[in-house]
Amino acid sequence: MTRHFTGLIAGLIGSAALLACAAPAQAKAPPPLQALSPADIDPVGLLPPPPADGSDRQKAEIEELRAIQATRSAARLTLAQWDDLHEDATLFAPTLGLKFDLAALPQTAKLLAIVDNDQEAAAKVAKAAFHRHRPWIFDPSLVGCPRGDKPDPLTSYPSGHVTLGYSMGVVLAALIPDRAADIMARASEFADSRMVCEVHTRSDIVAGQVLGTAVGAMLLKTPALQPDIEAAKAELKAAGL
């Protein structure tokens, strides 16, 4: 996957701005749900609490990040850093190729914008409820991806990137069933990048996988979205995807 990513990166840099649905800063209030309702998705009830600070499990998770930092390759870190900057549907372009051009796929872009909105709303509710410290609070030497202008460390659980990757991955896998395995493998790789970046622990990743999968599955079953789903499916097939 990393080798394939390297071959496509030059063609994808310009496409990163095509989708205007990237998540806003964590400090902002979550967006209102568009397709789902609070009765459909209860992220706090769905997810177990993260490991407590100072617990053996929490300490083991920090040790795992130290081990990743010590053994990661330069190529894998480069991919993780690219993934860090692509918290939107373009994360699947390394897998689906240059045909996955959302500027030329308006029906798909419309549907994925709804997915993005509702997964972000769910993830932010959970982050605010669990209020978990980022890994670097416990070990400042954990460095992989830039922390940017987000000084608030209490946003670790669940991972927002992973929630997005899995919610979109589940939906895209249903839209392009012949590529479902590749799409979900890419979602998993995208999730692993958060640990390579040293910005999330294992339980943050698992929580994002669970929440993202739940959001994606519920959106696929939402009656009001069925016309949008069918339109996106037809559009992707016509584009050779």
CATH number at residue 224: 1.20.144.10
CB 133 within 8 A of CB 154: yes
CB 137 within 8 A of CB 55: no
Q: What is the DSSP letter of 217?
A: H
pLDDT of residue 3: 40
Structural domain for 229, as ranges: 52-238
Q: How many domains, the chain?
A: 1
**DSSP helix/strand/coil, 18:** coil
CB 26 within 8 A of CB 158: no
- On whether residue 202 sits in a domain, the answer given is yes
Mean pLDDT of 107-133: 96
User: Terminal CA-to-CA distance of the chain, rounded, Å?
Assistant: 18
pLDDT, tens only, 179-237: 999 999 999 999 999 999 999 999 999 999 999 999 999 999 999 999 999 999 999 99
- Could you give the CA distance from residue 214 to residue 228 in angstroms, rounded to a whole number? 19
State how far the alpha carbon of 10 is from the alpha carbons of 6, 55, 66, 101, 104, in Å.
8, 44, 31, 14, 19
CB 89 within 8 A of CB 112: yes
- On whether residue 38 sits in a domain, the answer given is no
**Model-level pTM?**
0.87
pLDDT of residue 147: 74
- On whether residue 10 sits in a domain, the answer given is no
